[in-house]
Amino acid sequence: MAVTCSVSFRQCRGATIYYVQGRWGAQASLTSKYLGDPPMAAVAPSKLASLPPSLTAASEPPALFDGTTRLYVAYVCPFAQRPWIARNYKGLQEKIELVPVDLLNRPAWYKDKLYSANKVPSLEHNNEVRGESLDLIKYIDAHFEGPALKPDDPAKQQFAEELLSYSDSFNMVMFKATAAKGDVSGELDAAYDKIEDALSKFSDGPFFLGQFSLVDIAYAPFVERFQTLLLDVKNYDILKGRPKLALWIEELNKIEAYAQTRIDPQELMSATKKRFGLA
Ligand SMILES: N[C@@H](CCC(=O)N[C@@H](CS)C(=O)NCC(=O)O)C(=O)O
Protein backbone atom coordinates (compact mmCIF):
# COMPACT_ATOMS: atom_id res chain seq x y z
CA MET A 1 0.00 0.00 0.00
CA ALA A 2 1.71 3.21 -1.10
CA VAL A 3 0.78 6.03 1.22
CA THR A 4 3.72 8.30 0.69
CA CYS A 5 1.83 11.37 1.86
CA SER A 6 1.90 10.03 5.40
CA VAL A 7 5.64 9.68 5.49
CA SER A 8 8.39 12.21 5.97
CA PHE A 9 12.14 11.72 5.84
CA ARG A 10 15.29 13.16 7.33
CA GLN A 11 18.90 12.12 6.99
CA CYS A 12 20.76 10.98 10.09
CA ARG A 13 24.30 9.62 10.07
CA GLY A 14 23.92 8.10 6.67
CA ALA A 15 20.63 6.38 7.41
CA THR A 16 17.25 7.56 6.26
CA ILE A 17 15.12 8.40 9.23
CA TYR A 18 11.52 8.07 8.29
CA TYR A 19 8.37 8.92 10.05
CA VAL A 20 5.13 7.03 9.66
CA GLN A 21 2.04 7.72 11.68
CA GLY A 22 3.80 9.08 14.72
CA ARG A 23 6.62 6.60 14.60
CA TRP A 24 10.14 7.02 13.36
CA GLY A 25 12.47 4.48 11.93
CA ALA A 26 15.84 4.09 10.29
CA GLN A 27 16.13 2.07 7.11
CA ALA A 28 17.94 2.24 3.82
CA SER A 29 14.61 2.28 2.03
CA LEU A 30 11.01 2.32 2.95
CA THR A 31 9.18 -0.83 2.00
CA SER A 32 5.58 -1.84 2.10
CA LYS A 33 6.43 -3.71 5.29
CA TYR A 34 6.34 -0.40 7.10
CA LEU A 35 3.12 0.73 5.55
CA GLY A 36 1.22 -2.51 5.53
CA ASP A 37 0.69 -3.12 9.25
CA PRO A 38 -2.73 -2.53 10.68
CA PRO A 39 -2.59 1.14 11.67
CA MET A 40 -4.10 0.47 15.05
CA ALA A 41 -1.68 -2.32 15.94
CA ALA A 42 -0.13 -0.35 18.77
CA VAL A 43 -3.34 0.42 20.58
CA ALA A 44 -4.36 -1.96 23.34
CA PRO A 45 -7.65 -3.64 22.46
CA SER A 46 -9.13 -2.81 25.87
CA LYS A 47 -8.52 0.89 25.32
CA LEU A 48 -9.78 0.79 21.76
CA ALA A 49 -13.10 -0.58 22.83
CA SER A 50 -13.95 2.62 24.66
CA LEU A 51 -12.75 5.01 21.95
CA PRO A 52 -14.43 6.01 18.71
CA PRO A 53 -13.23 4.03 15.67
CA SER A 54 -10.74 5.67 13.32
CA LEU A 55 -12.13 7.09 10.10
CA THR A 56 -10.65 5.60 6.95
CA ALA A 57 -10.63 6.38 3.25
CA ALA A 58 -14.02 4.67 3.08
CA SER A 59 -15.56 6.87 5.79
CA GLU A 60 -17.91 9.74 5.05
CA PRO A 61 -16.74 13.01 6.57
CA PRO A 62 -18.52 14.39 9.59
CA ALA A 63 -20.75 17.40 8.86
CA LEU A 64 -17.78 19.70 8.44
CA PHE A 65 -18.17 23.32 9.53
CA ASP A 66 -21.59 22.74 11.03
CA GLY A 67 -20.58 24.49 14.23
CA THR A 68 -19.37 21.36 16.00
CA THR A 69 -15.90 21.63 17.50
CA ARG A 70 -13.81 18.65 16.53
CA LEU A 71 -10.31 17.53 17.41
CA TYR A 72 -8.84 15.27 14.74
CA VAL A 73 -6.23 12.84 16.05
CA ALA A 74 -4.59 9.52 15.31
CA TYR A 75 -4.42 7.32 18.37
CA VAL A 76 -0.76 6.43 17.95
CA CYS A 77 0.41 9.98 17.23
CA PRO A 78 2.30 11.68 20.08
CA PHE A 79 1.65 15.12 18.60
CA ALA A 80 -2.09 14.49 18.52
CA GLN A 81 -1.95 13.15 22.06
CA ARG A 82 -0.99 16.63 23.27
CA PRO A 83 -4.24 18.51 22.51
CA TRP A 84 -6.20 15.37 23.35
CA ILE A 85 -4.79 15.49 26.90
CA ALA A 86 -5.51 19.24 27.06
CA ARG A 87 -9.12 18.67 26.00
CA ASN A 88 -9.57 15.95 28.61
CA TYR A 89 -7.88 17.89 31.38
CA LYS A 90 -10.11 20.90 30.83
CA GLY A 91 -13.17 18.66 30.93
CA LEU A 92 -14.15 19.41 27.33
CA GLN A 93 -15.18 15.92 26.32
CA GLU A 94 -18.70 17.13 25.52
CA LYS A 95 -17.57 20.39 23.88
CA ILE A 96 -14.80 19.03 21.66
CA GLU A 97 -15.60 15.88 19.75
CA LEU A 98 -12.67 13.51 19.29
CA VAL A 99 -12.37 12.38 15.67
CA PRO A 100 -9.65 9.78 15.08
CA VAL A 101 -8.40 9.24 11.56
CA ASP A 102 -6.40 6.36 10.16
CA LEU A 103 -3.27 8.00 8.76
CA LEU A 104 -2.32 4.97 6.72
CA ASN A 105 -5.69 4.84 5.05
CA ARG A 106 -6.50 8.50 5.32
CA PRO A 107 -9.78 9.89 4.05
CA ALA A 108 -9.21 12.17 1.04
CA TRP A 109 -11.67 14.70 2.41
CA TYR A 110 -9.36 15.33 5.36
CA LYS A 111 -6.85 17.08 3.13
CA ASP A 112 -9.23 18.30 0.44
CA LYS A 113 -12.01 19.72 2.57
CA LEU A 114 -10.62 20.20 6.02
CA TYR A 115 -6.89 20.60 6.58
CA SER A 116 -4.59 21.01 3.59
CA ALA A 117 -1.48 20.31 5.70
CA ASN A 118 -2.97 16.80 5.94
CA LYS A 119 -1.53 16.11 9.40
CA VAL A 120 -2.92 15.39 12.79
CA PRO A 121 -3.71 16.95 15.10
CA SER A 122 -6.08 19.60 13.80
CA LEU A 123 -8.90 21.43 15.48
CA GLU A 124 -12.12 22.53 13.78
CA HIS A 125 -13.55 25.42 15.77
CA ASN A 126 -15.66 28.43 14.86
CA ASN A 127 -15.56 27.56 11.15
CA GLU A 128 -11.79 27.50 11.07
CA VAL A 129 -9.24 24.73 11.19
CA ARG A 130 -5.88 25.04 12.84
CA GLY A 131 -3.04 22.65 13.53
CA GLU A 132 0.35 22.32 15.24
CA SER A 133 0.11 20.53 18.54
CA LEU A 134 1.85 23.09 20.74
CA ASP A 135 -0.28 25.90 19.28
CA LEU A 136 -3.39 23.81 19.81
CA ILE A 137 -2.69 23.24 23.50
CA LYS A 138 -2.42 27.00 23.94
CA TYR A 139 -5.48 27.65 21.80
CA ILE A 140 -7.65 25.18 23.70
CA ASP A 141 -6.46 26.65 26.98
CA ALA A 142 -7.21 30.21 25.87
CA HIS A 143 -10.57 29.63 24.15
CA PHE A 144 -12.34 27.11 26.36
CA GLU A 145 -13.34 26.87 29.99
CA GLY A 146 -11.76 24.51 32.49
CA PRO A 147 -8.62 24.47 34.64
CA ALA A 148 -5.87 26.72 33.26
CA LEU A 149 -2.90 25.03 31.64
CA LYS A 150 -0.82 28.19 31.48
CA PRO A 151 0.58 29.52 34.76
CA ASP A 152 -0.11 33.07 35.98
CA ASP A 153 3.36 33.57 37.43
CA PRO A 154 5.55 35.42 34.87
CA ALA A 155 8.64 33.42 35.91
CA LYS A 156 6.76 30.21 35.24
CA GLN A 157 5.42 31.58 31.96
CA GLN A 158 8.93 32.34 30.80
CA PHE A 159 10.20 28.92 31.82
CA ALA A 160 7.24 27.33 30.06
CA GLU A 161 8.21 29.05 26.80
CA GLU A 162 11.82 27.88 27.17
CA LEU A 163 10.76 24.29 27.73
CA LEU A 164 8.23 24.35 24.90
CA SER A 165 10.92 25.67 22.54
CA TYR A 166 13.28 22.92 23.64
CA SER A 167 10.77 20.11 23.12
CA ASP A 168 11.44 19.69 19.38
CA SER A 169 15.20 19.46 19.98
CA PHE A 170 14.62 16.99 22.80
CA ASN A 171 12.50 14.81 20.56
CA MET A 172 15.07 14.93 17.78
CA VAL A 173 17.83 13.77 20.15
CA MET A 174 15.61 10.83 21.10
CA PHE A 175 14.79 9.89 17.51
CA LYS A 176 18.43 10.02 16.45
CA ALA A 177 19.73 8.21 19.54
CA THR A 178 17.26 5.38 19.08
CA ALA A 179 18.23 4.92 15.45
CA ALA A 180 22.01 5.32 15.98
CA LYS A 181 24.25 2.26 15.94
CA GLY A 182 26.89 3.22 18.53
CA ASP A 183 26.96 4.46 22.11
CA VAL A 184 24.62 7.39 22.53
CA SER A 185 24.59 7.58 26.32
CA GLY A 186 26.36 10.97 26.27
CA GLU A 187 23.64 12.60 24.19
CA LEU A 188 20.90 10.92 26.20
CA ASP A 189 22.49 11.89 29.52
CA ALA A 190 22.65 15.52 28.43
CA ALA A 191 19.01 15.59 27.32
CA TYR A 192 17.57 13.79 30.35
CA ASP A 193 19.79 15.68 32.80
CA LYS A 194 18.33 18.86 31.36
CA ILE A 195 14.86 17.48 32.03
CA GLU A 196 15.85 16.45 35.57
CA ASP A 197 17.19 19.97 36.20
CA ALA A 198 14.05 21.53 34.78
CA LEU A 199 11.93 19.42 37.11
CA SER A 200 13.95 20.77 40.04
CA LYS A 201 13.24 24.42 39.29
CA PHE A 202 9.91 24.84 41.09
CA SER A 203 9.24 23.11 44.38
CA ASP A 204 5.48 23.57 44.68
CA GLY A 205 4.72 20.28 42.93
CA PRO A 206 6.24 17.40 40.94
CA PHE A 207 5.56 18.88 37.51
CA PHE A 208 7.71 21.13 35.32
CA LEU A 209 6.11 24.31 36.61
CA GLY A 210 5.21 22.82 39.98
CA GLN A 211 1.58 22.21 39.10
CA PHE A 212 0.42 20.28 36.04
CA SER A 213 0.60 22.49 32.94
CA LEU A 214 0.93 22.66 29.18
CA VAL A 215 4.63 21.81 29.51
CA ASP A 216 3.87 18.40 31.01
CA ILE A 217 1.42 17.83 28.17
CA ALA A 218 4.09 18.71 25.60
CA TYR A 219 6.63 16.22 26.95
CA ALA A 220 4.54 13.35 28.26
CA PRO A 221 3.69 11.57 24.96
CA PHE A 222 7.34 11.54 23.90
CA VAL A 223 8.93 10.61 27.24
CA GLU A 224 6.35 7.82 27.52
CA ARG A 225 7.42 6.33 24.21
CA PHE A 226 11.15 6.73 24.61
CA GLN A 227 11.29 5.40 28.16
CA THR A 228 10.36 1.88 27.07
CA LEU A 229 12.10 2.06 23.72
CA LEU A 230 15.47 3.27 25.02
CA LEU A 231 15.49 0.69 27.78
CA ASP A 232 14.87 -2.06 25.31
CA VAL A 233 16.97 -0.92 22.38
CA LYS A 234 19.84 0.90 24.09
CA ASN A 235 19.61 -0.60 27.58
CA TYR A 236 19.32 3.00 28.71
CA ASP A 237 17.24 3.63 31.80
CA ILE A 238 16.06 7.24 31.70
CA LEU A 239 15.12 7.02 35.41
CA LYS A 240 18.53 5.92 36.72
CA GLY A 241 19.84 8.66 39.01
CA ARG A 242 16.86 10.89 38.14
CA PRO A 243 14.43 10.86 41.05
CA LYS A 244 12.56 13.96 39.84
CA LEU A 245 11.84 12.35 36.50
CA ALA A 246 10.70 9.15 38.21
CA LEU A 247 8.33 11.12 40.41
CA TRP A 248 7.09 13.14 37.43
CA ILE A 249 6.13 9.98 35.55
CA GLU A 250 4.50 8.51 38.65
CA GLU A 251 2.42 11.64 39.23
CA LEU A 252 1.63 12.04 35.55
CA ASN A 253 0.15 8.57 35.44
CA LYS A 254 -2.29 9.61 38.16
CA ILE A 255 -3.72 12.34 35.92
CA GLU A 256 -6.82 10.79 34.43
CA ALA A 257 -6.84 13.17 31.45
CA TYR A 258 -3.48 11.75 30.44
CA ALA A 259 -4.18 8.13 31.40
CA GLN A 260 -7.19 8.14 29.04
CA THR A 261 -4.87 8.84 26.10
CA ARG A 262 -2.23 6.23 26.88
CA ILE A 263 -1.86 3.13 24.83
CA ASP A 264 -0.22 -0.03 26.09
CA PRO A 265 3.57 0.65 26.40
CA GLN A 266 4.68 -2.81 25.36
CA GLU A 267 2.36 -2.87 22.38
CA LEU A 268 3.54 0.57 21.42
CA MET A 269 7.18 -0.39 21.79
CA SER A 270 6.95 -3.51 19.69
CA ALA A 271 5.24 -1.57 16.93
CA THR A 272 7.84 1.19 17.17
CA LYS A 273 10.70 -1.30 17.08
CA LYS A 274 9.27 -2.78 13.95
CA ARG A 275 9.34 0.67 12.43
CA PHE A 276 12.98 1.07 13.45
CA GLY A 277 13.83 -2.26 11.86
CA LEU A 278 14.85 -3.54 15.31
CA ALA A 279 12.28 -6.24 15.87
N1 LIG B 1 4.49 19.72 13.99
C2 LIG B 1 3.26 18.98 13.95
C3 LIG B 1 3.59 17.54 13.63
C4 LIG B 1 2.33 16.72 13.39
C5 LIG B 1 2.67 15.42 12.69
O6 LIG B 1 3.74 15.25 12.09
N7 LIG B 1 1.72 14.48 12.74
C8 LIG B 1 1.90 13.25 12.03
C9 LIG B 1 1.31 12.09 12.76
S10 LIG B 1 2.11 11.80 14.33
C11 LIG B 1 1.16 13.33 10.72
O12 LIG B 1 0.06 13.79 10.64
N13 LIG B 1 1.79 12.83 9.68
C14 LIG B 1 1.17 12.77 8.43
C15 LIG B 1 2.01 13.27 7.34
O16 LIG B 1 3.11 13.78 7.61
O17 LIG B 1 1.58 13.17 6.19
C18 LIG B 1 2.53 19.12 15.27
O19 LIG B 1 3.20 19.38 16.29
O20 LIG B 1 1.30 19.01 15.29
Query: What CA–CA distance (Å, rounded) separates 216 from 86?
Result: 10
pLDDT band at 112 (very low <50, low <70, confident <90, very high): very high
Number of the ligand 1 atom closest to the C-alpha atom of 131 = 20
- In the listed set 109, 124, 143, which residue is the last one of a domain according to the structure? 143
pLDDT band at 265 (very low <50, low <70, confident <90, very high): confident
- 122 alpha carbon to ligand 1 midpoint, in Å? 10
Global pTM value? 0.84
Q: What percent of the chain has pLDDT over 90?
A: 71
Instruction: Specify whether 26 is located in the same domain as 137.
Output: no
- Average pLDDT over the chain, rounded to an integer: 84
Instruction: Specify whether 16 is located in the same domain as 95.
Output: no
**The predicted structure's pLDDT at residue 263:** 82
Number of the ligand 1 atom closest to the C-alpha atom of 118 = 17
Instruction: Specify whether 262 is located in the same domain as 166.
Output: yes
**Looking at the 3D structure of the chain, how many domains does it have?**
3
Residue 148 lies in a domain: no
What single letter denotes the amino acid at residue 89?
Y
Q: Please state, as a whole number, how many other Cβ atoms lie within 10 Å of the Cβ of residue 49.
A: 7
Instruction: Specify whether 196 is located in the same domain as 120.
Output: no
CA angle 73, 75, 77 (to 5 degrees): 75
Q: Using one digit for the tens of pLDDT, what is the confidence trace for 35-73?
A: 222 223 344 545 655 789 999 999 999 999 999 999 999
Question: What CATH number is given to the structural domain containing 109?
Answer: 3.40.30.10
Instruction: Specify whether 58 is located in the same domain as 103.
Output: yes
- In the listed set 103, 123, 143, which residue is the last one of a domain according to the structure? 143
Residue 88 lies in a domain: yes
Q: Using one digit for the tens of pLDDT, what is the confidence trace for 165-209?
A: 999 999 999 999 988 989 999 999 999 999 999 999 999 999 999
Q: Which residues are near ligand 1 (CB < 6 Å)?
A: 5-6, 8, 21-22, 74, 77, 79, 103, 118-121, 131-133
DSSP string, 54-102: PB-TTSPP--TTSS-EEEEE-TT-HHHHHHHHHHHHTT-TTTEEEEEB-
* DSSP state, residue 238: T
Residue with CA nearest ligand 1 atom 17: 6
| Domain that residue 264 falls in | 154-275
- 204 alpha carbon to ligand 1 midpoint, in Å? 34
